[in-house]
Structure 1
Amino acid sequence: MTHPVRKRSPEAEALNEHCALIDALLGGTKAMRAAVEYMPRWPAEDKESYETRLKVATLFPAYQRTIEVLGAKPFSKPVTLGKDVPAKLQQWLEDVDRQGRNLHAFLAEVGQEALGYGFSGILVDYPPTQDKDGKALYVTKAEEQAAAVRPYFVQIHPKNILGWLTDKDGLKQLRLLETATEEDGDFATKEVEQVRVLTRGAWVTWRKVEGGNKQDDWAPHDSGVTTIKSIPFVPVYGNRLGFMRARPALLELAYANVEHWQSKSDQQNILHVARVPILFGKGLESTDTIAVGAGSMIKTDRADADLKFVEHSGKAIDAGRLSILDLEDRMRQAGAELLVIKPGNVTETQTLADNEQGACALQKVAENIEDSGDQALQFMAEWVGEAEGGHITVFKDFGAATLAEASAELLLKANQAGKLSNESFYGELQRRGIVRPDATWAEEQEKIDAQGPALGNMPDPDAPPAPPPKAKPKAP
């Protein structure tokens, strides 16, 4: 049995329910091939055929791209600090995690994690100032400053949360799975798994006993006390269901992406079959030796003999292609829905005042990130005896009035990334009613060519002249 300190609680299991699915989708083709449960083996399909089908499958990264695009929107403008943020804290926010990330970059990654997995966390930690025997590591404040001893943020993935206990005052215990790096000889390091148990005003790390042969051989490794009398952990919600309860905001998109993965594999398989015609012979002698090629001929004296290729009609191929295109359109719509403003007020001022009306789902995620940032600053202030940590502002005025407008923006991103042609992009805009229905791409392309290069794309005056365009053939 797993030791209780290492065992994930039922509440934490619920928080991590969808992590395996999201890990696979965000991990790309390699991760999806490894997660064989998302590519079922069909009845009567032999193992070799299944493994071959799995090896050639490629992922259309709809979930990953949507999370990247939508998660970046609240951080398309810098996170701004309020005037109430203490100067002492402001200088630390330039390297808020002691790993080189400033507050903006740190919250951007936390926000993407919360949007993708539904949950993320910020632990406001402080380096130890005493050794195991309780002896002070630093004598003066100058020594502490030289060693960069100050509070810092730690990003906590939901998979690293093993469990928690609460009372009327909030968290009273939190268990986190960690990996500690230690020296292994003169030239190498090794990673050691440990569990950090945080309580109000104290902490204990547990490690597996070396030489133990049972999973429950765990014992306390290190411990200490803290000057802050609460657990400095801040949950960040992508789709909040309750305290420490959440699920991915785009969970249905994730399931649709898995469906696309499976359907695309079927399409690849049927294309492979259809591209290889089967040679069918009738009335040939069993002893006939047949050579197939451009420089060969089949000869027989039998009047009823026949030899021909049997090919797939292609109807199933076209049906599969249309099904995949429809699924891709549904996935784009699912991502765009997070940008659509609910009926009501539409300005940012009204959105902030009303909180519900006039806000899109992604704006609420941005508000959650902003609130969590404020709480983390408050914990940072408490670590150093400051009364207030101050407030931050995250950009939130990016809602779209309609689903057509929101999905068009995602299509533009795909077009700019080279994943969607200009003509297809134009067709999608026309289908959404943004471009008049009687216009044609050929007419629009002529207008684009006539207006000259866009700003920032002017030709180099020193470059050699381009060859003259070829004359278009006249219609008969």
Structure 2
Amino acid sequence: MSETTEQYWVLRPGSCEVYEIGEGGGLGTVELVQSFELRSPSGKLMDKIPAIFYPVSTLNPFELLPPLHDLALSNITHYQEWSDYREVRYKCNVPVPVLKGLLDAPDRLVIGPNTVVTLPPDGDFFYREPSGKAIEATRQAIIDIEKQMLQRSLAFFGGNSHMTATEAELRSAQTVSELTQMARDKESAVKGIINCWTQWTSEEPNGGIKVNTNLIKSPISSDTARMFTDLVVGGIMPTDMYWDIMSSAGIIPKNVELPSAGD
């Protein structure tokens, strides 16, 4: 049977120490078992710790839950509720045949337009169906879950007539802000990884990635564009800044040559 040894690696610029946790002495003992320098293959001492912190969430950097985790859980709940809804509808939509007063029921009862059911004088034959009270409650639960999922996602870009334009814009801005920050964190993490690698290989750190954030940018409304135009006309906003905003928002095509400040 293999044994597991608990170790802790302590990284410092240019060095690394490995400690083991023993079992003696109450809470255990800490013993230094290995110490070595961090050098590149060329022998250069690394002046940085070769570790990059890449938080999944900037609000709670030490939580490892993926983005939109709550939306994924809501999606599972929605699937379960919808499955129950279909099951209860199926059972409530099928009437159950009932024989009243028939004591000696045959082993096999044939029901149909071409068969006859013999009943005693006080007997009766009818169909009984459930009241189906759970159907409406389950249906309302599904609607409530979909409303919560709508608030946590970009679904408001669809046809939701119950949401005002201001509410949709505020929710859009919050989601876009989170996605933009995630893109920046990824660019920063990859840049740090390349810096560590090039220091190890003694190369120049001239690589990286660029996440295209134009896909998640919120479009500028006509009122906002008109406000920027008024600022330029009033001499409050520089013309170059105005053209940059209009171009980055996609209102002006990238291939259009913008005028300079002196034009």
Question: What is the TM-score when the length of structure 1 is the normalising length?
Answer: 0.32
| 8 A contact 1:340–1:361 mirrored in 2 | no
**1:314 & 1:253 partners in 2: Cα distance?**
30
Q: CA deviation at 1:367?
A: 0.6
3-state secondary structure, aligned to 1:279: strand
> What is the match of residue 212 of structure 2?
395
Q: CA deviation at 1:322?
A: 3.5
1:363 aligns with 2:180: yes
Q: CA deviation at 1:243?
A: 6.2
**2:53 & 2:121 partners in 1: Cα distance?**
82
Identity over aligned residues, as a percent?
A: 23
> What is the match of residue 250 of structure 1?
68
> What is the match of residue 195 of structure 2?
378
**2:75 & 2:15 partners in 1: Cα distance?**
36
Q: CA deviation at 1:336?
A: 2.5
> What is the match of residue 281 of structure 1?
99
For structure 2, the 5+ residue unaligned runs are 19-35, 156-169, 221-263
Query: Amino acid of the residue matched to residue 371 of structure 1?
Result: S
Change (3 A) 1:387 1:273: same
Change (3 A) 1:307 1:383: same
Deviations 1:397-432 (A, max 9, x none): 423379xxxxxxxxxxxxxxxxxxxxxxxxxxxxxx
Change (3 A) 1:389 1:232: farther
Q: CA deviation at 1:245?
A: 4.5
Count of residues paired in the alignment: 184
Q: CA deviation at 1:371?
A: 0.5
**2:140 & 2:121 partners in 1: Cα distance?**
44
Query: Amino acid of the residue matched to residue 201 of structure 1?
Result: L
Ranges of 4+ aligned residues in structure 1 off by more than 6 Å? 224-228
3-state secondary structure, aligned to 1:340: helix
For structure 1, the 5+ residue unaligned runs are 6-162, 175-198, 203-223, 343-357, 403-476
Q: Structure 2 matches for 1:260-271, cutoff 5 A?
A: 260-271=78-89
**2:111 & 2:15 partners in 1: Cα distance?**
76
Q: CA deviation at 1:366?
A: 0.5
3-state secondary structure, aligned to 2:76: helix
Deviations 1:17-44 (A, max 9, x none): xxxxxxxxxxxxxxxxxxxxxxxxxxxx
Of 328, 334, 337 in structure 1, the residue corresponding to residue 146 of structure 2 is 328
> What is the match of residue 116 of structure 2?
297
Question: What is the TM-score when the length of structure 2 is the normalising length?
Answer: 0.54
| 8 A contact 2:14–2:45 mirrored in 1 | no
> What is the match of residue 89 of structure 1?
none
> What is the match of residue 239 of structure 2?
none
| 8 A contact 1:279–1:310 mirrored in 2 | yes
1:4 aligns with 2:10: no
| 8 A contact 1:267–1:317 mirrored in 2 | yes
Question: What do you get for the CA RMSD once the two structures are aligned?
Answer: 4.1
Q: CA deviation at 1:2?
A: 5.9
The structure with the larger Rg is 2
If each structure's strand is expressed as a fraction of its own residues, which one has the higher value?
1
**2:195 & 2:137 partners in 1: Cα distance?**
57
> What is the match of residue 310 of structure 1?
128
1:340 aligns with 2:172: yes
